[in-house]
Amino acid sequence: MSDVVCTAGAADRPSEEEHRNFCVAAVTSGTFRCRASQGTAMLAPGALLLGNPGTCYECGHEHGAGDRCLSFHFEPAYMEQIVADIPDAKKLNFKTPRLPPLPALAPLLAEAEVARETADIDAFEELALRIAGAAIASGATPAAQAPSRRDQKRVAEAVRRIELDADQTVSLAELASETATGPYHFLRSFRRVAGVTPYQFLLKTRLHRAALRLRMSDEAISTIAFEAGFNDLSTFNRRFRRVMGEAPSAYRVRRRGDKLPNASAIPAL
């Protein structure tokens, strides 16, 4: 595992690089564009960058400065062992350069980010396997039509706006207006570029931040919920349970290593 922090910005020219092994990198902050033989995609927090051995790629940061990723690399023989243990997984190569920030990935990526922040190095061997398995099991396929550079730029700006004001009310009409598009066109473009709808990305951002605070602080759950942007505790509890697989209180206890009877497993993809 490597914690990759990129300092490139809009003024920097993209440079071509090559994946020596299979790569699965979880984007934890920043927004950037990746172009590879599998296609072109925009990556935002919660997405996975996917790479095959020998594949050349380049990342552009015209939408903003820098990004940060947790990058995992796997030799082909090791990846074959993972594929063999996943039902219906027949293809070894990734067909697309990106897996969007799907809700089912949220618990796993929150766990990986906490492990990084707490320097829990021992946890990464298991996390690497689980993240690779999630990427393989996703069955990701290329988009039917590549979004335009203009749409990518608009969506990147909207993603950064959502991240900045995730604890506030962010309406679809407001986001569309700020990108000078109609609500329907913006919604369709956002989903094609980011892989999820604006609301799904907003909810993922709020829940991810709440999950980190649950694991790394002793603050009251109600305080965390309200400061994350949820208007009431019952809504937060319901959303958190549906995405993370368990109630916030159970998540906090179990993730800290304490024993909790009948604790549910992280939802499978």
SS3 of 101-165: CCHHHHHHHHHHHHHHHCCCHHHHHHHHHHHHHHHHHCCCCCCCCCCCHHHHHHHHHHHHHHHHC
pLDDT for 139 equals 63
Q: Provide the percentage of residues in the chain whose pLDDT is more than 90.
A: 33
CA nearest 68: which of 18, 30, 113, 15? 30
Question: Please, which residues have CB within 8 angstroms of residue 207's CB and are 6 or more apart in sequence?
Answer: 106, 228, 239, 240, 243, 244
Q: In this predicted model, what pLDDT tens digit does every residue of 215-264 receive, in sequence order?
A: 999 999 999 999 999 988 998 999 899 888 899 999 998 866 544 444 34
Q: In this predicted model, what pLDDT tens digit does every residue of 34-57 receive, in sequence order?
A: 899 888 888 889 999 999 999 999
Length of the chain equals 269
CA distance 4 to 9: 15
Structure tokens at 222: 């109600």
Over 90: is that where the pLDDT of 7 sits? no
Average pLDDT over residues 57-75: 84
Gyration radius (Cα) of the chain, Å: 18
Structure tokens at 74: 């796997």
CA nearest 243: which of 94, 79, 98, 103? 103
Mean pLDDT taken over the chain: 84
Confidence tier at 63 by pLDDT (50, 70, 90): low
For domain 2-137, is the CATH number 2.60.120.280? Answer: yes
Q: In this predicted model, what pLDDT tens digit does every residue of 127-183 receive, in sequence order?
A: 888 898 888 887 654 444 677 888 888 999 999 999 999 999 888 889 989 988 888
pLDDT for 255 equals 67
Q: Could you state, in order of their start, the residue ranges of all structural domains in the chain? A: 2-137
Average pLDDT over residues 49-76: 87
Does residue 118 contact residue 211 with C-beta atoms inside 8 Å?
no
CA-CA-CA-CA dihedral for 28, 30, 34, 38, to nearest 10: 30
Over 60: is that where the pLDDT of 269 sits? no
Q: In this predicted model, what pLDDT tens digit does every residue of 88-126 receive, in sequence order?
A: 776 678 888 999 888 888 888 988 998 898 887 877 887
